[in-house]
């Protein structure tokens, strides 16, 4: 009997020792402290390490709302919107009145352009939390903006501004909506080109009108009149920026002139793709008809980084006697909104879209630097000014140095 009792005791002892991670020996930790550690890692870009810690917390606290939201946001920031949605859905089911869960999920749905589900989540949030949630109403306005119902969007945005004027980005957003609801505009620009040497200064005047139609998108009619080479001439153009479906839009340009320093006929077309993470790509073609026809293949890549916009354009010009190319780099720093910015432009060669340049006689190398500033004075008036300097190689022994000043204004109605 004693031997049986001894064996039984040792058996129980072995079972306890063999399971150190269960029962009363289970590991303990502070979930709030681990959450802060994970949050720091994720914000530093170490999202895999941060998610490992969050998974550990969820293993013991599966309904921890802030952990679920942070896990979802980490996937959304990586562009893994479906994975993010799993955690946001669980956060809503466990905390149906937690505003942060709705906000995070709606942002994820906006980024993935799942507007149908976003509308449902916004409705659910307003029902559970109530219309006093300005963060949800702000995103309700955003939803109408994405649907291009700008009148409803600005009505809701003004309601939010009346109660929560310090909402981040709200004022700039309202200004954008005001511009969207005023789709007509008229503007004028003046360019003065001074040349170091015997060449007389050039004066170029441009007037234009802009409107919007469902078929053409933004539609612009422009007339440019220039005095150069001791002569005068004008050019008429029509431009359109139609929508080409989800995340795409086009650019079309036609122009005509009887002046020798403008192309007799010009044509341009491009397709733009808006890509994830604020990238934009363009592929296009330009045609300029002087005495001969010039074909240009063009393309650009752009990206928004915080308040900065960066864009690089390349042009390739095939020819029987040899091909040539040009490049243009632009950057803008935006202040209050998309109409207020400072810009820098550096280029080599001549772009077919720079109408104030001498494209016809430009044969060899050209280098240009340009600074500019644009400002929206009121919701209706906009003005801008640019100054640039270029050095153009006309022949192997002849260079032309050019100072350009450009000013303009636009009125929206």
* Co-location of 197 and 135 in the same domain: no
Token pair belonging to 330: 């632009």
One domain for residues 191 and 221: yes
Report pLDDT digits (tens) over 168-188: 777 667 767 876 777 899 999
**Is position 4 within any domain?**
no
Task: Indicate if 250 and 136 belong to the same structural domain.
Answer: no
Task: Say if residue 133 is in the same domain as residue 192.
Answer: no
Residues 6+ away with beta carbon under 8 Å from 53: 34, 37, 38, 41
Q: Considering the domain boundaries, does residue 15 fall inside one?
A: no
pLDDT tens profile 139-162: 999 999 998 888 899 889 888 888
Separation between Cα atoms, residue 220 and residue 208, nearest integer Å? 7
Domain stop point among 118, 150, 180: 180
CATH of the domain at 333: 2.40.160.60
Contact 69, 87 (CB under 8 A): yes
Res 58 pLDDT > 70: yes
Per-residue pLDDT of 189-248, as tens digits, reads: 999 999 988 789 999 999 999 998 888 888 999 999 999 988 899 999 999 999 887 778
Domain count within the chain: 2
| Pure H helices in 19-98 | 31-43, 47-60, 65-77, 81-94
Q: Tell me what the pLDDT averaged over the chain comes to.
A: 87
Mark whether 160 and 249 lie in a shared domain. no
Domain finish residue from 150, 180, 210: 180
**175 phi and psi, to 5 degrees?**
-60, -40
Report whether 177 contacts 156 (CB < 8 A).
no
- The domain boundary residue, chosen from 180, 206, 238: 180
CATH code, domain with 89: 1.25.40.10
Residues 191 and 135 in one domain: no
Domain that holds residue 227: 186-412
127 and 199 belong to one structural domain: no
Q: Is the pLDDT of residue 14 over 70?
A: no
Residue 194 lies in a domain: yes
User: 312-337 pLDDT, tens per residue?
Assistant: 999 998 977 778 888 999 999 988 66
More confident residue, 357 or 139: 139
Spell out where 96-201 has E strands.
185-195
| Measured distance CA(366)–CA(273) in Å, rounded | 30
Integer Rg of the chain from CA: 30
- Residue 96 covered by a domain: yes
**N-terminal to C-terminal alpha carbon distance within the chain:** 103
Contacts 24+ apart (CB under 8 A), 332-337: 332/308, 333/307, 333/308, 334/307, 334/308, 334/309, 335/307, 336/171, 336/172, 336/175, 336/376, 337/172, 337/175, 337/176, 337/376
Q: Is residue 325 domain-shared with residue 294, that is, in the same domain?
A: yes
Q: Tell me, yes or no, whether 153 and 272 share the same domain.
A: no
On whether residue 7 sits in a domain, the answer given is no
pTM tops 0.75: no
Q: Are residues 345 and 241 in the same domain?
A: yes
pLDDT of residue 282: 97
Element (H, E) at 281: strand 279-289
In a domain, 105, yes or no: yes
The answer on 393 and 333 residing in a single domain is: yes
Same domain, 152 and 39: yes
Q: Give residue 23's pLDDT.
A: 41
């Amino acid at each position: 009997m004693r031997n049986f009792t001894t064996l039984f005791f040792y058996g129980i002892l072995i079972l306890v020792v063999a399971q150190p991670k269960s029962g009363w020996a289970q590991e303990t930790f502070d979930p709030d402290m681990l959450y802060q550690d994970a949050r720091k890692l994720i914000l530093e870009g170490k999202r895999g390490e941060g998610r490992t810690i969050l998974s550990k917390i969820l293993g013991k606290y599966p309904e921890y709302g802030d952990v679920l939201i942070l896990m979802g946001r980490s996937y959304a920031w990586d562009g893994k919107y479906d994975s993010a949605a799993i955690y946001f859905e669980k956060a809503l089911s466990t905390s149906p009145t937690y505003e942060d869960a709705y906000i995070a999920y709606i942002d994820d749905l906006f980024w993935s352009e799942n507007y149908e589900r976003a509308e449902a989540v916004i409705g659910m949030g307003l029902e559970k939390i109530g219309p006093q949630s300005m963060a949800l109403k702000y995103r309700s306005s955003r939803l109408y903006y994405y649907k291009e119902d700008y009148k409803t969007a600005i009505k809701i945005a003004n309601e939010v501004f009346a109660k929560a004027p310090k909402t981040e980005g709200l004022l700039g957003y309202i200004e954008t909506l005001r511009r969207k609801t005023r789709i007509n505009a008229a503007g004028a620009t003046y360019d003065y080109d001074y040349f170091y040497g015997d060449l007389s200064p050039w004066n170029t005047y441009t007037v234009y009108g802009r409107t919007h139609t469902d078929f053409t998108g933004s539609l612009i009619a422009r007339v440019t009149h220039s005095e150069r080479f001791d002569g005068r001439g004008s050019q008429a153009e029509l431009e359109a920026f139609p929508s080409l479906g989800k995340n795409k839009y086009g650019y079309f340009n036609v122009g005509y002139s009887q002046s020798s320093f403008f192309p007799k006929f010009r044509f341009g077309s491009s397709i733009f793709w808006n890509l994830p993470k604020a990238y934009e790509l363009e592929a296009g073609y330009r045609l300029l008809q002087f005495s001969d026809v010039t074909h240009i293949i063009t393309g650009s890549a752009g990206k928004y980084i915080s308040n900065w916009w960066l864009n690089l354009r390349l042009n390739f010009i095939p020819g029987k006697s040899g091909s040539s190319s040009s490049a243009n780099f632009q950057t803008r720093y935006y202040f209050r909104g998309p109409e207020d910015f400072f810009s820098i432009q550096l280029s080599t060669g001549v772009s077919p879209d720079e109408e104030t340049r001498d494209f016809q006689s430009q044969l060899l190398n050209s280098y240009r630097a340009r600074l500019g500033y644009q400002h929206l004075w009121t919701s209706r008036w906009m003005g801008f000014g640019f100054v640039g300097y270029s050095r153009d190689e006309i022949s192997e022994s002849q260079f032309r140095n050019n100072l350009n000043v450009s000013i303009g204004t636009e009125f929206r109605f």
